[in-house]
A and B are shown apart, each in its own frame.
Chain A
């Protein structure tokens, strides 16, 4: 009696499983969205939004959101040029020490209160007085900011500062109302906006937050009216949600996803304005093979950057040719053989050192990052051909970062992303993170980079910074590997997102969305 019942039950279950849509493949993409404005899109990031104050806002969600909800005097373009956002004009005095910025007329925040130069001065003093990470990097050359009237901000500089416009386009110089910040300790939980979007829903640490187009934005209206940002820590879940259509845009997809997603979903690399590299710990004991510059140069020659790009990053990460990513004029492509592998030259170089028979070393990698451990494994295999036995050690981000600070590593596969001059300052000027992590000091390189930073003449700057790169090549404190690129997956028309118009030094997605203005002609952008 019981057996037939069970059999029927099981048959029903199997039949239930078999019942699917007639087309039982993955759902295809939604219809291409070209009608503007787009009412709402959902975007996934890999972690939650924890903070919107510039102090402590170093995680991707904070950076993304801050750029979208705070207007700046200038906004970055894809070619590192800047264009005015809240600023109408900028006049530099003859000696380069006084810069006067005039705000556009009639600027208001999302709540209708006026944006004034007093708020601009406050953005500077808050960076200066409030302990934060960005001041030394961006605003150290600024001595004082005055607001003689409501539309004029005067920057008094300690020394000429060619990159002031870039600094004023950084999220740290987002403009917020001084009075609100001073009165409300919780202001950054519900900020008003002078930028493209305004924060609508957010609980710090919650998995979802919502921004809506700021009706008072000076360069609006926006092409996308509402953006839901969701934290999806698991990369596979990001792929599945994009495939199923619950997410419209994914930043940082695993490279394998390119072939796994349904046809029609756009996947493409978004440059991250940085490079992957192998960092050497300059604080290792004397006599350690990696303290020898020729050994480091041999390692650079033995690494097959093309293979790393293909095997670890699916061919989207252009092999490095110099210490900085391609694009900015500061970059110098000075790696021997154009960065191509030359094992014979590497062997020859290594043979001239006391370590010609090879040695063993550990290569740490940031194991949570897509492709980084794979890259380290390819490098380990490359170096084995040189007689160097490499043990790859994938680490949690927190541990890898901590090891860099404490010197608890021999070699580490890692990456840096920053604007052109900060890229060099970050790794060669004492006090900067990477300089300290590499324990690298070359007085002449430091002098050249510092001189380049305060040069008034742009050609002079380029000449100085190129000389610094030539010197650093002799030291080889790190080995550049390939350009940092993030794979994006999108159901939204790329032209609308202006993907080709990414400002550098920021999260590409941010600028993409901020640039997506309704009245712009999508077809005018390249792909």
Chain B
């Protein structure tokens, strides 16, 4: 079982992000379960959503306390909420930011993690560019598909179609695609540098 925890703020599409992730995993033939952290919903308040993926039926209903991957939609949560709580040492970290780990004060913290599983993506900027609003959830899913390969870009694009329609769907698809491709390119470059 692979477990993902998404942190963000109310209004950033955190819950929708987890739901689309589960749809993408389902389209890839897996069992998936997505659910929000339940509470009073307020714009701007910290929100958590969860997604489990497995090749067999998922029966477990507890919150995800030892995630395999963390997606952070809002980097201002980094020093406010224990976003990395329980993350496995070989886990994935994906943060929506245009800054570096050292600029965010995380250089020491991420030293223990596998560098190829750490990823920073300016998802809000991509969303503004393609959708006109800083909703980072969809470009982060595109980036997540490239980062861990558990879901395909094609499945993400189809999941977007289930949640949105018309211009919003098209814009989100373009944002997811650009995020996916930029991460693939980045990883290719890192690989080439390592090989050289």
Query: Do chains A and B stick together as partners?
Result: no
> B residues bordering A, Cβ < 8 Å?
none
> A residues bordering B, Cβ < 8 Å?
none
